[in-house]
Amino acid sequence: MLFEAFLRRLVRFGDLTVIRPDGSRFTVNGQPFPHLRSADTPSPVTVHFHDPETIRRLIWQPALAFGEGYMEGTVTIDEGTLGDCLALFMRNMHDDPSVFLRLRASVGRAVRKLHQNNPIPRARKNVAHHYDLSPQLYEMFLDADRQYSCAYFPTGNETLETAQAAKKRHIAAKLLLEPGQRVLDIGCGWGGMALYLAQSFDVEVTGITLSEQQLAVAQQRAAKAGLDGKVRFELRDYRTINEPFDRIVSVGMFEHVGVKYYRSYFNAVRRCLAPGGVALLHTIGRSDPPGSTNPWIRKYIFPGGYCPALSEISAAIEREHLTTCDVEVLRLHYAETLKHWHRRFQEHREEISRMLDERFCRMWEFYLLGSEMAFRHEGQVVFQVQLARDKTVVPDSRDYIGAFEASHPLPVAI
């Protein structure tokens, strides 16, 4: 009864049918979703709970219990899709969270520094948890350049490869690169951005990562492309860097820093950035006030991770006496990126299941679709923040970005 009352209070929009473990069911018929395009409107959903314990846990730990139930097969979607189901719950919870959910959010904010305590040894362990999975996994759903961050869709009709190439060019435009400069890539991933910058703009790049598997792949790519003399990849933490660079770029890494270490991060940026230098931070963030990380994501996908509010980023930047020269908010670009990733994951699902097992596949589906729906129906966005020590090194008008992109062809993956 408590579970049914909870859902009837929560689901004000959309249609949800619940099947209990004993086969009985109830339906909640909410109002039509307001302000949603037909393509984004969730279809009616039927959720089948096969285990009474999952229902009991849902009252007190809704995000964790539902995700774990789906992973273990004690929660199945009998009508609609998992994406429809997640969109329905997220839209209702985001628009008007219950008193209980608001209380849980307050508790999450109160203890978040414990969850985001990322000294160097723990930071390495957290990175290995996600990025040192089988290299073949990432090859199956990423683009050829293994760009594991938000792509850029200027028209919305780009392929994933084109959109990821457009992202790299868009970032290069904001870096205002000149031949011979030294560039630091914080969180270089599998090396795609560093290789592109070195090859296309005649700069020397140092890429750092905490993932041993990413490091090995990046070094192999540099050697194969004949760029190992211009690009250096190292297994290092940003807190250990203490040498000057003309440009600093960081794409999809700041989410792993943790609120407690924001001052340390921007202190490292200021310490390493030359007086006339430019830095570009590309990170997932939230358009909502400061919060905490979804407990299922924290436990299974990104331990120690957090997507910040712009106010949290700005406060740390200001305290380290850096100048914010430009902020761009990419709102739905990551939703489109994740849609491509999920589609490719499904195309290789049988192969991935044989490689990593069915439970992993269900976990990864929940992660990819949950993330997509968070960008479509909650406050998740991507921030691109351009920084400098001297505000005069960046043009006052943003016209230079479009001019750069018009005069530079899209890069081809190396």
Q: Confirm if 16 and 88 have CB atoms less than 8 A apart.
A: yes
Sheet holding 380-388, edge to edge: 231-235, 204-209, 182-186, 245-251, 273-286, 380-388, 323-330
Nearest CA to 13 among 81, 80, 64, 87?
A: 87
Question: How do residues 140-196 score in pLDDT, each as one tens digit?
Answer: 999 999 999 999 999 999 999 999 999 999 999 999 999 999 999 999 999 999 999
Question: How do residues 192-220 score in pLDDT, each as one tens digit?
Answer: 999 999 999 999 999 999 999 999 999 99
pLDDT of residue 36: 82
Nearest CA to 55 among 28, 14, 19, 15?
A: 19
What does the mean pLDDT of the chain come to? 93
* DSSP string for 296-338: HHHHHT-TT----BHHHHHHHHHHTT-EEEEEEEESSHHHHHH
pTM strictly above 0.75: yes
Task: Name the residue with higher pLDDT: 284 or 97.
Answer: 284
pLDDT of residue 111: 66
Question: How do residues 378-410 score in pLDDT, each as one tens digit?
Answer: 999 999 999 999 999 999 999 999 999 999 999
Confidence of residue 414 (pLDDT cuts 50, 70, 90): confident
Question: How do residues 6-30 score in pLDDT, each as one tens digit?
Answer: 889 889 999 999 999 999 999 999 9
The two most distant CA atoms of the chain are separated, in Å, by 70
Instruction: Centre a 10 Å sphere on the Cβ of residue 202 and count the other Cβ atoms it contains.
Output: 13
* Residue 32: strand, helix, or coil: coil
Domains, in order of start, for the chain: 2-96 (3.30.1050), 120-407 (3.40.50.150)
How far from 215 is each of 136, 202, 233, CA to CA, in Å?
15, 22, 7
Confidence of residue 134 (pLDDT cuts 50, 70, 90): confident
Radius of gyration over every alpha carbon of the chain, rounded to an integer in angstroms? 22
Nearest CA to 249 among 173, 353, 346, 339?
A: 173
Question: How do residues 63-120 score in pLDDT, each as one tens digit?
Answer: 899 999 999 999 999 999 999 999 999 999 876 655 555 655 665 565 666 777 888 8
Residue with tokens 């630091």: 184
Surface-to-core class of residue 350, CB atoms within 10 Å of its CB (0-12 exposed, 13-18 middle, 19+ buried): exposed
As a whole number of Å, the end-to-end CA separation of the chain is 58
Strands (E), 136-203: 182-186
Q: Confirm if 348 and 341 have CB atoms less than 8 A apart.
A: no
